[in-house]
Amino acid sequence: MDSDNYMHHFSSKWAKSILAASMLANISTALLTDDGVQKMMKDGSERFDMVMIEASHLEAMYGLAEYYNATLMGIASMRLNWHVDDLAGNPSPSIHDSISLEGPSLKYSLLGRFYNWLDTTEEFLLERLVVRPAQLHIFERFFGYSAEKLEELRSRFALVLINTHFSMGRVRANVPNIIEVGGMHLSDPPEPCDEEMQRFLDEAEHGVIYFSMGLEIRFKYLPDYMQQPLLQRFAELKQRVVWKNELFTTPNKTDNVYRIVRAPQRIILSHPNTRLFITHGGLLSVIEAINGGVPMLGLPLFFDQFNNMQRVEAAGMAKVLDWNTLSVDTLINTVHEIIEQPKYAQKAREMAYNFRDRPMNPLDTAVWWTEYALRHRNASHMRLNKSELPFMAYYQLDNLLPLLLRVAMILMAVLFLGYKLLEKQRFRQRRQQERNLLMMQQIMFR
């Protein structure tokens, strides 16, 4: 990106971060002033062994762990990011790993690494200068603890449950207290499917395409020039289409298009006839598609959806389109590409197998590690704190310096030898010039 665009992005991001910091401060204040929370805190008989908190930027809430002398445990509803890494004491992420939820796709290019470095530095400044001071003010107001205590609590997370799994995209190095439980919600029974929908799926000779943009995104905002043409083009496909569309208050079924307000998504994505999932890229939807082995066509709109889809696209089971430049022809052509090229379905099956092949299901994993954190009140043996990784040790400069010293000594020796050889050559040239001058003088005086 050019300098003008980056400066616009930079200023815009700071403005949005100031707004986000205000929103997060309001959330923390609302939680701590809630009548139930206040009654609980004033009740001297209340005891808690663990405080389980979303590992977001609601840092004022960490004071509850100190208030009750309880184990502090985190839950991250989205993928791992730099903030969760910091809380878990995980120093491994680097400029190879994009931290921006809306950042560029994961690439190893020099430009990509430079952008990630800028992004990392910017996020660190935003957190330190904008978000944390607002939370610290609330932390001091409600608990009376110091800024040093907040820093201590940040390093006291026993473990963090992460709603992701290494099979869902790029592998990264994690410390032991980062526990991957992606798919934990799959342990709940799926929403039932009525008989008519079941027949529609079972009798799909050429397969089913499922089109849903989640619960929040409304199709009434889809441009008029796309709604009817899209329905017509869907009707021309040989595959059957289940279209989650709130414009219809009751199911509306034609020969091969079934429009419904609320679809039994997990049933559809686990059905053997489902060939494609057109999705906004919400994390739970992506997890359910991976679990079902269904290729995806992504139309991300905001927040983590971009990164969720970039990862599965890089893994080979999805294609991503830009909603801003989307046309009906582009969408339908991409649908044909994904369905007709077997590489997408093959990769989706491979990812499904890897995702499901675990020693225990995600919910049991979460329960086991929660009990582990309760058994080990001090789980410092599972994390790396900053004090244990000084700058020299983190970058292994203690091993690099002796090598650099040896190289420097060899280089100095070579330079010194070269200097001496050059001096000797110059001395020889001067002696030769003196001899020549002496010979010329003798010839002239004869």
Q: Which residues contact 430 (CB under 8 A, 6 or more apart)?
A: none
**pLDDT of the chain, 446 residues: tens digit per residue:** 444 444 444 457 778 788 888 999 999 999 999 999 999 999 989 999 999 998 888 899 999 999 999 999 999 887 777 778 888 887 765 555 555 544 444 455 666 667 777 777 787 888 888 889 999 999 999 999 999 999 889 888 999 999 989 898 777 778 888 999 999 999 888 888 888 899 999 998 999 999 988 776 666 666 666 667 777 888 888 999 998 877 655 456 667 888 888 889 999 999 999 999 999 889 999 999 999 999 999 988 877 888 889 889 988 999 999 887 878 888 889 999 999 999 999 999 999 999 999 999 999 999 999 999 999 887 778 877 666 666 555 555 666 677 778 888 898 989 988 888 888 888 888 888 877 777 777 777 66
Euclidean distance between CA atoms 19 and 137, whole angstroms:
16
What b-and-e string marks burial along 334-348, b requiring 16 or more CB atoms within 10 Å of the CB? bbeebbeeeebbebb
Q: Is 188-356 the same fold as 3-182+361-389?
A: yes
- Superfamily covering domain 188-356: Glycogen Phosphorylase B; (3.40.50.2000)
Q: What angle do CA 230, 288, 364 make, to 5 degrees?
A: 170
Asked whether the CA dihedral 231, 235, 237, 242 is positive or negative, the reply is: positive
pLDDT of residue 234: 84
pLDDT of residue 7: 42
pLDDT of residue 102: 46
Residues pairing with 320 in the sheet: 298
Euclidean distance between CA atoms 433 and 441, whole angstroms:
12
Architecture of domain 3-182+361-389: 3-Layer(aba) Sandwich (3.40)
**In the chain, domain spans:** 3-182+361-389, 188-356, 393-446
Q: What is the pTM of this model?
A: 0.78
pLDDT of residue 223: 63
